[in-house]
Amino acid sequence: MKTFQPHHRCCSTLVQTIDAPLPLVWSILRRFDNPQAYKQFVKTCDLSSGDGGEGSVRDVTVVSGLPAAYSVERLDELDDESHVMVISIIGGDHRLINYRSKTTAFVAAAEEEKTVVVESYVVDVPEGNSEEETMSFANTIVGFNLKSLAKLSEKMMANKKL
């Protein structure tokens, strides 16, 4: 008799301080329909349902070289007042099963012109992978996206000052 193995899950939280004001950072981050603006692993993004608000679903094509070709993602929560966005991955050909992330942006306590972005996620550990391997993979992607968001936001700020 085969015994039921509960899903092993792992989670992590990454933090990025960005040298740009919150309204600018949030204007990029909140665009569920345009993740490729700062996510360099995204080749194309098409909304398959919704208008980019809560409940919308996007089909994302991933750049070649990654161990995936596409991802299907749903916007579970978008709060423009609290600057919170929750996204679930609901399909695709990758190993991020039952992935759900919450991204929050807020003004850095010390400086008005800086924004802190916090992204936390929970995901199943796939069969044949360790918790460390799963977290390392997800942390690499999330960390890269947050650094890319910072770079884009800071570049936009520099261009505004010219």
What does the DSSP 8-state code read for residue 156? H
Band the pLDDT of 6: cuts 50, 70, 90.
Answer: low
Q: What is the CATH number of domain 9-161?
A: 3.30.530.20
Sheet hosting strand 84-92, strand order edge to edge: 9-18, 115-124, 100-107, 84-92, 70-79, 57-62, 42-49
The reported pLDDT for the residue numbered 109 is 82
Residue 76 has pLDDT above 80, yes or no: yes
Contact 104, 118 (CB under 8 A): yes
pLDDT for 3 equals: 47
What pLDDT band is residue 2 in, cutting at 50, 70 and 90?
A: very low
What is the separation of C-alpha 162 from the centre of its chain, rounded to a whole number of angstroms? 30
Structure confidence at residue 1 (pLDDT)? 52
**Which H or E run contains 116?**
strand 115-124
